[in-house]
Amino acid sequence: MPFLNWLKRRLVVIAGLLTLAYLLLPNVIVTVFSFNKPKGRFNYEWQRFSTEAWKDPCGVADMCGSLSLSLQIAVWATVGATVLGTMISFALVRYRFRARGAVNSLIFLPMAMPEVVMAASLLTLFLNMGAQLGFWTILIAHIMFCLSFVVTAVKARVMSMDPRLEEAARDLYAGPVQTFLRVTLPIAAPGIAAGALLSFALSFDDFIITNFNAGSTVTFPMFVWGSAQRGTPVQINVIGTAMFLLAVLFVLVAMVLGNRRNKQKA
Amino acid sequence: MSTLTEAPPPLSPEAPGEKPPRRRGRFTPYWLLLPGMLWLIVFFALPMVYQASTSVQQGSLEQGYKVTWHFATYWDALDAYWPQFLRSVCYAAAATVLCLLLGYPLAYLIAFRAGRWRNLIMVLVIAPFFTSFLIRTLAWKTILADNGPVVHVLNTLHVLDLTGWLGWTAGDRVLATPLAVVCGLTYNFLPFMILPLYTSLERIDGRLHEAAGDLYARPWTTFRKVTFPLSMPGVVSGTLLTFIPAAGDYVNAELLGSTDTRMIGNVIQTQFLRVLDYPTAAALSFILMAAILAMVTLYIRRSGTEDLV
């Protein structure tokens, strides 16, 4: 049975590709339906081809405003979480200090906590303090949950770094600041970049924590959530498709640049 | 070495024989930790305390709340919402198992069989992250639509009869049933399974497979005795990263389910944001947190990998 043998040898590959298809199917649907012209308020059934939504992506009231708000929050959350997280990871890897165990658990716990629990407890804090829910409470929450992920990403990179490189720099009369800026930081950069990228994606796409702590402020995920009740404009799919394409393009360009640099070094 | 302007090295506070990584700047680590740790203490740990306190308060929105150590709230909440708790655990467990079954082949494929396609497949696994997950979850409404091709095929093959008999679906529908919710949960958290699996599979020395083959192990035996045990760290962290968010999720149950598929996350959200019954909501959230932490601790102990972070 040559066919059965062929199938047996490729079973893993076929199963893996099927999973990949499962992962990508919704993205295909989102893209296809960005060219739909739905009949009612909801864009769940295919009617006929149209490029109207692509020509007028901001044609829905409030959508682009929420998008720009989400981008702003994501940028500031990324900056905040990356700076704080990088500092923590350097302290963890490079120094001995008391209460290391407590610090480690305080970083691990937010990642091991269901989002809804963090969201609800943060809301009780804000309610007790009488804080005005909005941009700042969202930003505070986002920095909080992105922090742990940055620490994990940067720590892994700094840990694998050869400490002798820094010793060498100091032996060559580089001061602490110079050593940090010209040796440590460039080596840690990929870890920091990975942490920052992760923060951006997490913050931009966060719904549960934002839903609890946003008050009446509407971020893009909140807009999508609301539209699932009121009616989904095609423009949502346009934004979704554009984001997917931009992400793929961004990663591919980064990969090509990385390959070229590796080849130059070789 | 350090310049003269620096503080002198502290008298070694560490145990003798253990060399500290760096001797300069005694307070440097504390300054580095301070802002981030303060952030986590004020906005993560302190809220937990507030939540615990809220859960034993009584009162109303108008008159304010007072701590009365009213622990009956916990009992009432459990009594009223145990089906939702049970459902959350079942759905999350089902989604975790499905994620493992679906994710393992793909992680294996990327680690060992993809060759020059490896990077491209990795990009395709991660890229959906950048499209809002709510939009992607809404796409499942189209895929599983009542008159769509998926439901049609499942109906023709009489699969829906079987799942209906098991209580996973109802009638000729998939949407608004447990199956749709589990399918959405599986889809949403699959990458969280694939990435740790891939990380631990990728570390396995390919020569171990050859050695197993040389010792007359068949492929299946090699997988069972060599590959799978070595990938256990990935399996453990993957299942945790899938189960925890799935158990607290309310998005899939809300968008793809019905009132019969409400999970504990839905209850907490409704109590907090619509009913405004803060003590009950806080108690429910506290129970969820305790349950998850207990399960995670037990699971990590039993699987023997404590160095997850």
Burial of A151 (0-12, 13-18, 19+ CB in 10 A): buried
Chain B CB contacts of A136 below 8 Å: none
Q: Which residue of A has its CA nearest to B295?
A: A112
Mean pLDDT comparison of A245-254, B10-19, B300-309, highest-scoring range: A245-254
Give the pLDDT of residue A125: 94
Q: Which of A30, A97, A112 has the CB atom closest to B30's CB atom?
A: A97
Mutate to test the interface with A, among B41, B138, B198, B252 (most CBs of A within 10 A): B138
Instruction: Work out the number of other CB atoms within 10 angstroms of the CB of residue A190.
Output: 13
In a 13 Å sphere around the CA of B38, the CA atoms on its Cβ side amount to 7
Helix (H) or strand (E) holding A205: helix A185-205
Q: Is the pLDDT of residue B308 over 70?
A: no
Chain A CB contacts of B134 below 8 Å: 207, 221, 224-225, 228
Q: Which of B29, B128, B273 has the CB atom closest to A91's CB atom?
A: B29
Q: Do B29 and A252 touch (CB under 8 A)?
A: no
Give the pLDDT of residue A115: 94
Chain A CB contacts of B265 below 8 Å: 114, 116, 208
Instruction: Tell me which CATH code domain B72-303 carries.
Output: 1.10.3720.10
Rounded average pLDDT over B143-162: 88
Confidence of residue B24 (pLDDT cuts 50, 70, 90): low
Decide: helix, strand or coil at residue A207: coil
Chain B contact for A110, CB < 8 A? Answer: yes
Residue extents of the structural domains in chain B: 72-303
Q: How close does chain A come to B59, measured CA to CA in Å?
A: 14
Q: Which of A26, A120, A239 has the CB atom closest to B140's CB atom?
A: A26
Rounded average pLDDT over A5-29: 91
What is residue A184's DSSP assignment? Answer: I
Q: Which of A29, A120, A143 has the CB atom closest to B139's CB atom?
A: A29
pLDDT digits (tens, 9 = 90+) for B250-296: 999 999 999 889 999 999 999 999 888 899 999 999 999 999 989 88
Residue extents of the structural domains in chain A: 62-221, 234-266
Q: Do B282 and A121 touch (CB under 8 A)?
A: yes
* Topology of the domain comprising A62-221: MetI-like fold (1.10.3720)
Q: Do B14 and A27 touch (CB under 8 A)?
A: no
Q: How close does chain B come to A89, measured CA to CA in Å?
A: 8
Q: Which of B113, B132, B296 has the CB atom closest to A13's CB atom?
A: B113
* Mean pLDDT, all residues of chain B: 86
Predicted ipTM?
Answer: 0.88
pTM: 0.88
